C-alpha cells in the first residue's frame, strides 16, 4: 500500500519515454534527409552508375517513408547501420570507439560538478551575505558567463604552454590528458550547481522545521546535516538531468579543442560530411542516454521525497 | 483605491488611510526601487549601455575598417603608435574594429533570436495556460518531449541542413530556445487565471480578449522581462558555440564566437587576437546575468536568495 | 523563587526600511507550575519576546536584557549552553503544525533525536519513550504511527506530536506560541484540554502566547497584556477578566462577543490601528485609540506596580479604576475621568 507511490510513478514515467524516443528519432531522420546534397556528393565526383549502385545498396532510392520504417526496424535491433563516410566501419563500431572516451570525461566532470558545486553552495549559504558568500557567488557567475571555448584556450595557454605542467591535448587514457578537459567541461556545471545549492539551502534554512530543530536544542551541525541537507539537495538532483544534457553538449566543443576522439567530434564530422547514419546514430544514442538519465533522476527524486514515495491514496 | 466613499470629516483615521492609497507606490515603482538598490545589477546595466554605444558608434569613429588589411602591421601587438589599439590579426585587420563589429552581430543575434523565442514561447505558453485542460496537457507534453532532446545537436543539424544564412541562425536558435519561456508563461497564466480578480472580471461579464489584454498580459510582463534578460546571454552563447565550430555567421560578417575561434588558432603567437573578443564576450554575458538576476529579485522579493 | 525571570528585555530588528523596535522594556516572571498567558494583537511583540529568550531570533534581530532561568541568564549563554536547555528544560511549540515538522524525516527520527541529544538512553529505550509520549497525547496506534511521515498526519495530530516532542525530556517550562490558532475550533478545544491535563500531571510551567481570550480564561493563572512592544497590564486571571485596569485590556475584553447580551447589540471594537513600530513617538502608544485619553498621556506613562505584582502602564490610578470597567460592563463608557497629577 505504501510503496504504491513510487512504483506507480516509475511506471507512468516509463510509458512516457516511448513517445519521446519516437519524436526524437523521427525529427532527426527527416531533418537530415532534408539536407540538400546526399552523402555521396562529397569531394569525389562519382560516375553515375556507381552512384546508382550505392543508392540501391543503401536503400536511398526508396520512398522516404519506407526508409523511415526500415530504419525504425533497425533501431529496435540496435543496429545503426554502416557509416557513410568511414566506409569500413559501422556506426555501432564508431559509437563503441567514441563513447567510452566521452563517457569518461563526462562522468568525471559530472562527479566533480556535483561534489564541488554543492560544497561551494553550502558554504556560501551558511555564510550568507558575507564577503565569502559574495566572492564565491561572483566566481560562480563568472563560471556561467565564460564560454568553455574561451576557458579552454586560456587554460591550455597558461597550464600547458607557459607552465608546461600538463599536455595541451590529445588522448591516451592517461590521467594527465584528462585533467584539463574534465575541468573545462565541469566549470559551468559547478557554477550552476553552486548557485542552485546556495539558493535552495538558504530557503530551507528559513523554513519552520529548521526553527523547530534549533528549538529542540540540536547543535547547528546536526541541524544542517540531518534536517537541511536532503531537502536542499533535491532541486540539485533534479537538475542533474538537464546538467547531463548540457555536459554532452559541451563535450562537442571540448573534444574539438583538446583533440579528443570522442563521440562529439564524430558527430560534428558526420554533420559536415552528411554521414546520415552516423549523425542519426549519435543523435539517437545521446537522446536515449538523456532520456534514461532524466528517468533515473526522476525516480531518485521521487524516492527521496517521502510525499511521493509514500503516496497517500489521492 | 476607491475614493468616492463618504468620509466623515471628523474621522482622522479613515482620512489617513485614503491619503495612503493616493500616494501609494505601484508594484512597478517598488520593483524599480529595489532594482536600483542592487549594486551589481546597476553597474552591469551601465556597462551594458556603454557596450551598446561602443559597438554601434565605435566602428564609425575608428580610422580602420573591419576588412581592411594593413600589410605593414600583421600580427602586431596592441600599441598606440601603429594606431591599432587592440593589435592586428594575422592578415593585418584591426582587432578593435573587428571586435566591435563582431559585437554588433553577437548582440543582434542575441536580441533577435530572443525575440523569436519570446514570440513563440509566450504565445504557446499563454494559450496552454489560458485554455487549460486537455489542450494544456497535450501542449505541455510536447514541451516535455522536446525538452528531453539534445538541443545543441538539433541546432547543429539545422545549420548543416539549411546553410549558414544569418536569418536562419536567428530562427534556429530561437526555435530551440523557447521552451523555458513557454513553461514559465504557462505557469503564470494558469495561476493568474484562477486569481480572484480575473474571476471577478468574468463575473462582471468581461469577455476573454479583454481579460487577456487587461489582466493577464500586464501581469505576465514582469516575469517575461526577467526571462528575456536571462535568455539573451544564453542565445549569444549558443551563437558563439556555433561560430566556434564553424557553423555560425559567414565571412565577411563576424561575431565574437568566430573571433574567439580565430584567436584561438593564433593564441600562442598573438594572444591579443583571443583575449579582446573573449573579454568582451565574457563581460557581456556576465553583466546580462547580473541584470537578469537583479530583475528577478526586484520583481519578486520572495524569490530573493 | 521564579522559574523564569525576564527583566528589561528589548528586541530590535534591522530592516531595509529602518529599525523596528519590536519589544520595549519587557519584565515578567513565571513561577514553577504556573501558567502565564501573553496576550495582544498581531505585531504586539509577543512572539519576538520569547524567540529572543530562546535564542531563535532572525539574523537581523538583536536583543538585550536579562532572562534568568533557574538562576542562569539565557541571554548571556553560549550556543552550546543554550542547546543544552532548549528542547530539554525549556520546550517550545509553534503556531503552524503543518510546516513545523521536517517532511523528510519520520516522526520517530524527529522525536528520538531529542532524547539522544539530551539524555543517555539507548535507541530502543528512546523509541519506547517516544511511543509512550505519543500515547499520552492520545495519538492512536502510536507504535505504527511513529514510523510515519508528517504528511500522513492531520493538522491537529501534528500539533499533538509537537507537544509530545516538547515534553519528551520533561521540561520545567513549555512555551506555546499560538498553538491553536491554525486549528479548527473543536481541535482547539482538544489541544487546550490536553495541555491543561499534561501540565497538572507534571507541574510544568507554561507560557501561552495567544490572542484568544477564551483559551486564556480556561488555561492560565496569570495574564500579561502587551501592546506595541510593551507591557500594558499584568495580573491574575481573575483580576484581568473581572477588574481590568488599562483601557486597552478593557477594550479587548469588551470586544469579545457575549452570549448574555442582546443579539442585536453592536459589536464593539477598538477604533484605529496599532502604531507603526518604526515610527514610535514618546508618550502612551495607545492614546490615539483610547477612550479615556487625557492631555497628560502625551508623556510616557508610568508602569504602576502594586504589591501583589499587578501592573498597569497608565496614568489612571490602579486602585481607582475599579468601577464600571469589568468584563461585564459596557466597555468604553467611563464613569469617572481622573486627571492625574
Chain A contact for C96, CB < 8 A?
yes
Determine contact, residues C55/C260, Cβ cutoff 8 Å: no
Contact A215 C114 (CB under 8 A): no
Residues of chain B in contact with residue C272, where contact means CB-CB under 8 angstroms, are: 13
Among A126-130, A262-266, B109-113, B266-270, where is mean pLDDT lowest?
B266-270
Q: Is the pLDDT of residue B275 over 90?
A: no
Percent of residues, chain C, with pLDDT higher than 90: 39
Q: Is the pLDDT of residue A43 over 60?
A: no
Cell numbers found for residue C220: 492560565
Q: Is the pLDDT of residue B144 over 70?
A: yes
Percent of residues, chain B, with pLDDT higher than 90: 4
Q: Are strands C35-39 and C205-210 parallel, antiparallel or unpaired?
A: parallel
Mean pLDDT of B254-283: 85
Contact A290 B289 (CB under 8 A): no
| CB–CB contacts below 8 A, A to B | 118
Which tens digit of pLDDT belongs to each residue from C35-64? 999 998 877 788 999 999 999 988 888 999
Mean pLDDT of B125-130: 82
Smallest CA–CA separation between A304 and chain B, in Å?
A: 22
Return the pLDDT at C336.
Answer: 39
Mean pLDDT of C108-115: 93
Contact A287 B149 (CB under 8 A): yes
3-state secondary structure of C207: strand
Sign of CA dihedral B111, B113, B117, B119: positive
ipTM: 0.84
Return the pLDDT at A32.
Answer: 64
Determine contact, residues A284/A6, Cβ cutoff 8 Å: no
Spatial CA neighbour of C233 closest among C220, C221, C247: C247
3-state secondary structure of B247: coil
Residues of chain C in contact with residue A216, where contact means CB-CB under 8 angstroms, are: 86-87, 113-114, 117, 165
Contact A294 B148 (CB under 8 A): yes
> Which residues 6+ apart lie within 8 Å of B111 measured at CB?
B232
* Mean pLDDT over the full length of chain A: 81
Mean pLDDT of C214-219: 87
Return the pLDDT at C68.
Answer: 92
Distance CA C227, CA C44 (A): 5
**Which of C113, C114, C149 comes nearest A306 by C-beta?**
C149
Among chain B, residues having any CB pair with chain A shorter than 8 Å are 141, 144-146, 148-154, 156-158, 160-161, 233, 237, 240-241, 244-245, 257, 260-261, 263-264, 267-268, 271, 274, 278, 281-282, 285-286, 289-290, 305
Residue linked to cell 510536447: B142
Confidence of residue B11 (pLDDT cuts 50, 70, 90): low
* Mean pLDDT over the full length of chain B: 78
Return the pLDDT at A117.
Answer: 94
Q: Is the pLDDT of residue B12 over 50?
A: yes
Mean pLDDT of A230-235: 90
Among A133-137, A157-161, B22-26, B186-190, where is mean pLDDT lowest?
B22-26
Spatial CA neighbour of B155 closest among B243, B38, B86: B243
Distance CA B112, CA B235 (A): 9
Smallest CA–CA separation between A291 and chain C, in Å?
A: 27
Subunits close to A (at least 3 CB pairs below 8 A): B, C
Q: Is the pLDDT of residue A266 over 50?
A: yes
Cell numbers found for residue C185: 475550533
**Which of A157, A257, A290 comes nearest B150 by C-beta?**
A290
Subunits close to C (at least 3 CB pairs below 8 A): A, B
Return the pLDDT at A36.
Answer: 59
Mean pLDDT of A217-223: 92
B247: closest chain A residue by CA: A272
Q: Among B41, B138, B140, B149, pick the best mutation site for testing chain A contact (most A Cβ within 10 A).
A: B149
Which tens digit of pLDDT belongs to each residue from C285-296? 888 888 888 888
Residue A12: asked if its preceding bond is cis (omega within 30°), the reply is no
Percent of residues, chain A, with pLDDT higher than 90: 22
Return the pLDDT at A69.
Answer: 81
Q: Among C270, C272, C275, C293, pick the best mutation site for testing chain B contact (most B Cβ within 10 A).
A: C272
Contact C99 A226 (CB under 8 A): no
- Given phi > 0 = left and psi -120 to 50 = alpha, else beta, which region is A312? beta
Query: What residues form DSSP beta bridges with C119?
Result: none
C275: closest chain B residue by CA: B13
B16: closest chain C residue by CA: C272
Return the pLDDT at C328.
Answer: 36
Residue linked to cell 506595541: C228
Distance CA C10, CA C151 (A): 38
Percent of residues, chain B, with pLDDT higher than 70: 85
Higher-pLDDT residue of C225 and C266 is: C225
Among A122-131, B7-16, C66-75, C197-206, where is mean pLDDT lowest?
B7-16
Determine contact, residues C86/A217, Cβ cutoff 8 Å: yes
Return the pLDDT at B17.
Answer: 58
Residues of chain B in contact with residue A149, where contact means CB-CB under 8 angstroms, are: 240-241, 244, 257, 260-261, 264
Count Cα atoms within 13 angstroms, Cβ side, for C135: 9
Q: Is the pLDDT of residue A207 over 70?
A: yes
Residues of chain B in contact with residue C271, where contact means CB-CB under 8 angstroms, are: 13
Count Cα atoms within 13 angstroms, Cβ side, for C272: 14
Among chain A, residues having any CB pair with chain C shorter than 8 Å are 128, 207-209, 211-220, 222, 226-227, 230-231, 304-307, 310, 312
Residues of chain C in contact with residue A219, where contact means CB-CB under 8 angstroms, are: 79-80, 83, 117
Buried b (16+ CB within 10 A) or exposed e, C150-182: bebbeebbbbbbbbbbbbbbebbbbbbbbbbeb
Chain A contact for C116, CB < 8 A?
no
Chain A contact for C187, CB < 8 A?
no
Higher-pLDDT residue of A228 and C255 is: A228
Select, from the ranges B175-179, C15-19, C136-140, the one with the highest average predicted confidence (pLDDT). C136-140
Distance CA B251, CA B273 (A): 17
Which tens digit of pLDDT belongs to each residue from C83-102? 999 988 999 999 888 899 99
Return the pLDDT at A313.
Answer: 38
Return the pLDDT at A55.
Answer: 67
Q: Among A6, A203, A212, A311, pick the best mutation site for testing chain C contact (most C Cβ within 10 A).
A: A212
Nearest 10 degrees: CA dihedral of C234, C240, C244, C248? 60
Confidence of residue A222 (pLDDT cuts 50, 70, 90): very high
Among B62-66, B153-157, B187-191, where is mean pLDDT lowest?
B153-157
C96: closest chain A residue by CA: A208
Mean pLDDT of B235-259: 81
Q: Is the pLDDT of residue A186 over 90?
A: yes
Which tens digit of pLDDT belongs to each residue from C300-327? 888 888 877 788 888 887 765 443 333 3
Q: Is the pLDDT of residue A177 over 80?
A: yes
Determine contact, residues A217/C84, Cβ cutoff 8 Å: yes
Higher-pLDDT residue of B195 and C231 is: C231
Mean pLDDT of B193-219: 76
Subunits close to B (at least 3 CB pairs below 8 A): A, C
Contact A31 B158 (CB under 8 A): yes
**Which of C99, C102, C151 comes nearest A227 by C-beta?**
C102
Which tens digit of pLDDT belongs to each residue from A57-111? 666 667 777 777 877 777 777 777 777 677 777 788 888 888 888 989 999 999 9
Distance CA B41, CA B288 (A): 9
3-state secondary structure of C78: coil
Mean pLDDT of A26-52: 65
| CB–CB contacts below 8 A, A to C | 78
Residues of chain B in contact with residue C273, where contact means CB-CB under 8 angstroms, are: 13
Return the pLDDT at B15.
Answer: 58
Select, from the ranges B178-182, B190-194, C1-5, C234-238, the one with the highest average predicted confidence (pLDDT). C234-238
Return the pLDDT at B179.
Answer: 84
Contact A218 C83 (CB under 8 A): yes
Smallest CA–CA separation between C155 and chain A, in Å?
A: 15
Q: Among A207, A210, A215, A307, pick the best mutation site for testing chain C contact (most C Cβ within 10 A).
A: A215
Q: Among C100, C126, C147, C148, pick the best mutation site for testing chain A contact (most A Cβ within 10 A).
A: C100
Chain A contact for C104, CB < 8 A?
yes
* Mean pLDDT over the full length of chain C: 85
Chain A contact for C82, CB < 8 A?
yes
Contact A31 B161 (CB under 8 A): yes
pTM score: 0.81
Residues of chain C in contact with residue A218, where contact means CB-CB under 8 angstroms, are: 83, 87, 113, 117
Return the pLDDT at C63.
Answer: 92
Q: Among B246, B286, B289, B305, pick the best mutation site for testing chain A contact (most A Cβ within 10 A).
A: B305
Residues of chain A in contact with residue B158, where contact means CB-CB under 8 angstroms, are: 31
Amino acid at each position: 500500500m505504501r510503496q504504491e507511490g513510487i512504483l506507480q510513478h516509475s511506471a507512468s514515467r516509463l510509458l512516457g519515454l516511448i513517445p519521446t524516443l519516437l519524436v526524437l528519432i523521427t525529427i532527426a531522420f527527416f531533418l537530415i534527409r532534408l539536407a540538400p546534397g546526399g552523402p555521396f556528393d562529397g569531394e569525389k565526383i562519382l560516375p553515375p552508375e556507381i552512384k546508382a549502385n550505392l543508392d540501391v545498396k543503401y536503400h536511398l532510392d526508396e520512398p522516404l517513408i519506407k526508409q523511415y520504417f526500415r530504419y525504425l526496424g533497425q533501431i529496435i535491433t540496435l543496429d545503426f547501420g554502416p557509416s557513410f563516410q568511414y566506409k569500413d566501419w559501422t556506426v555501432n563500431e564508431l559509437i563503441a570507439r567514441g563513447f567510452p572516451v566521452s563517457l569518461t570525461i563526462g562522468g568525471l566532470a559530472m562527479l566533480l560538478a556535483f561534489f564541488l558545486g554543492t560544497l561551494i553552495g553550502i558554504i556560501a549559504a551558511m555564510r550568507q551575505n558575507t564577503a565569502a558568500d559574495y566572492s564565491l557567488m561572483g566566481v560562480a557567475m563568472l563560471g556561467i558567463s565564460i564560454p568553455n571555448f574561451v576557458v579552454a584556450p586560456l587554460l591550455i595557454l597558461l597550464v600547458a604552454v607557459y607552465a608546461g605542467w600538463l599536455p595541451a591535448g590529445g588522448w591516451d587514457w592517461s590521467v594527465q590528458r584528462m585533467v584539463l578537459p574534465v575541468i573545462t567541461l565541469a566549470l559551468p556545471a559547478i557554477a550552476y550547481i553552486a548557485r542552485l545549492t546556495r539558493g535552495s539551502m538558504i530557503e530551507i534554512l528559513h523554513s519552520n522545521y529548521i526553527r523547530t530543530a534549533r528549538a529542540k536544542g540540536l547543535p547547528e551541525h546536526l541541524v544542517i546535516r540531518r534536517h537541511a541537507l536532503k531537502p536542499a539537495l533535491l532541486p540539485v538532483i533534479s537538475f542533474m538531468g538537464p546538467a547531463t544534457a548540457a555536459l554532452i553538449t559541451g563535450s562537442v566543443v571540448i573534444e574539438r579543442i583538446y583533440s579528443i576522439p570522442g563521440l562529439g567530434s564524430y558527430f560534428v564530422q558526420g554533420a559536415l560530411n552528411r554521414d546520415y547514419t552516423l549523425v542519426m546514430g549519435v543523435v539517437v544514442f545521446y537522446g536515449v542516454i538523456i532520456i534514461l538519465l532524466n528517468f533515473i533522476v526522476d525516480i531518485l527524486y521521487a524516492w527521496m521525497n517521502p510525499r511521493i514515495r509514500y503516496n497517500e491514496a489521492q | 483605491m476607491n475614493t468616492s466613499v463618504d468620509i466623515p470629516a471628523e474621522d482622522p483615521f479613515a482620512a489617513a488611510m485614503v491619503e495612503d492609497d493616493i500616494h501609494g507606490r505601484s508594484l512597478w515603482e517598488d520593483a524599480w526601487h529595489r532594482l536600483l538598490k542592487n549594486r551589481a545589477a546597476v553597474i552591469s546595466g551601465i556597462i551594458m549601455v556603454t557596450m551598446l554605444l561602443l559597438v554601434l558608434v565605435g566602428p564609425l569613429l575608428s580610422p580602420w575598417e573591419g576588412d581592411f588589411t594593413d600589410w605593414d602591421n600583421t600580427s602586431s601587438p596592441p600599441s598606440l603608435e601603429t594606431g591599432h589599439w587592440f593589435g592586428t590579426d594575422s592578415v593585418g585587420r584591426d582587432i578593435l574594429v573587428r571586435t566591435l563589429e563582431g559585437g554588433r552581430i553577437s548582440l543582434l543575434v542575441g536580441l533577435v533570436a530572443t525575440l523569436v523565442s519570446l514570440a513563440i514561447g509566450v504565445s504557446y505558453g499563454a494559450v496552454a495556460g489560458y485554455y487549460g485542460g486537455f489542450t494544456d496537457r497535450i501542449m505541455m507534453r510536447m514541451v516535455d518531449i522536446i525538452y528531453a532532446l539534445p538541443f545543441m545537436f538539433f541546432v547543429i543539424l539545422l545549420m548543416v541542413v539549411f546553410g549558414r544564412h544569418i536569418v536562419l541562425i536567428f530562427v534556429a536558435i530561437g526555435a530551440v530556445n523557447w521552451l523555458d519561456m513557454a513553461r514559465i508563461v504557462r505557469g503564470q497564466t494558469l495561476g493568474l487565471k484562477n486569481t480572484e480578480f480575473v474571476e471577478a472580471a468574468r463575473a462582471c461579464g468581461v469577455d476573454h480578449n479583454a481579460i487577456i489584454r487587461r489582466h493577464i498580459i500586464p501581469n505576465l510582463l514582469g516575469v517575461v522581462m526577467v526571462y528575456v534578460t536571462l535568455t539573451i546571454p544564453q542565445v549569444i552563447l549558443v551563437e558563439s558555440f556555433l561560430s566556434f565550430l564553424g557553423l555560425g555567421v559567414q565571412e565577411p560578417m563576424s561575431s565574437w564566437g568566430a573571433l574567439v575561434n580565430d584567436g584561438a588558432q593564433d593564441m600562442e603567437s598573438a594572444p591579443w587576437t583571443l583575449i579582446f573578443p573573449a573579454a568582451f564576450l565574457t563581460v557581456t554575458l556576465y553583466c546580462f546575468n547580473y541584470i537578469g538576476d537583479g530583475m528577478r529579485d526586484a520583481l519578486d522579493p520572495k524569490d530573493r536568495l | 523563587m521564579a522559574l523564569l525571570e525576564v527583566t528589561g528585555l528589548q528586541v530590535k530588528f534591522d530592516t531595509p526600511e529602518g529599525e523596528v523596535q519590536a519589544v520595549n522594556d519587557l519584565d515578567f516572571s513565571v513561577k514553577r507550575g504556573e501558567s502565564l498567558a501573553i496576550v495582544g494583537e498581531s505585531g504586539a511583540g509577543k512572539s519576538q519576546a520569547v524567540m529572543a529568550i530562546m535564542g531563535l531570533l532572525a539574523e537581523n534581530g538583536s536583543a538585550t536584557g536579562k532572562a534568568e532561568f533557574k538562576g542562569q541568564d539565557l541571554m548571556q549563554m553560549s550556543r552550546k549552553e543554550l542547546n543544552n536547555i532548549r528542547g530539554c528544560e525549556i520546550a517550545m511549540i509553534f503556531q503552524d503544525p503543518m510546516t513545523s515538522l521536517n517532511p523528510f524525516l519520520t516522526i520517530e527520527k524527529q522525536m528520538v533525536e531529542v532524547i539522544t541529544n539530551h539524555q543517555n538512553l539507548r535507541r530502543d529505550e528512546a523509541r519506547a519513550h517516544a511511543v509512550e509520549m505519543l500515547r499520552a497525547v492520545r495519538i492512536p496506534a502510536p507504535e505504527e504511527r511513529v514510523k510515519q511521515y508528517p504528511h500522513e498526519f492531520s493538522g491537529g495530530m501534528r500539533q499533538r506530536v509537537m507537544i509530545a516532542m516538547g515534553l519528551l525530556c520533561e521540561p520545567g517550562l513549555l512555551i506555546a506560541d499560538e498553538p491553536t490558532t491554525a486549528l479548527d475550533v473543536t481541535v482547539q478545544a482538544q489541544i487546550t484540554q490536553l495541555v491543561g491535563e499534561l501540565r497538572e500531571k507534571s507541574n510544568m510551567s507554561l507560557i501561552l502566547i495567544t490572542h484568544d481570550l477564551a483559551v486564556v480564561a480556561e488555561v492560565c493563572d496569570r495574564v500579561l497584556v502587551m501592546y506595541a512592544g510593551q507591557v500594558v497590564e499584568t495580573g491574575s486571571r481573575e483580576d484581568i477578566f473581572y477588574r481590568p485596569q488599562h483601557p486597552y485590556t478593557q477594550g479587548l475584553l469588551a470586544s469579545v462577543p457575549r452570549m448574555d447580551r442582546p443579539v442585536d447589540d453592536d459589536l464593539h471594537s477598538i477604533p484605529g490601528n496599532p502604531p507603526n513600530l518604526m515610527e514610535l513617538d514618546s508618550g502612551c502608544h495607545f492614546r490615539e485609540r483610547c477612550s479615556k485619553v487625557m492631555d497628560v498621556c502625551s508623556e510616557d506613562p508610568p508602569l504602576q506596580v502594586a504589591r501583589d505584582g499587578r501592573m498597569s502602564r497608565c496614568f489612571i490610578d490602579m486602585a481607582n479604576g475599579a468601577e464600571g470597567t469589568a468584563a461585564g460592563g459596557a466597555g468604553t463608557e467611563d464613569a469617572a475621568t481622573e486627571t492625574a497629577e
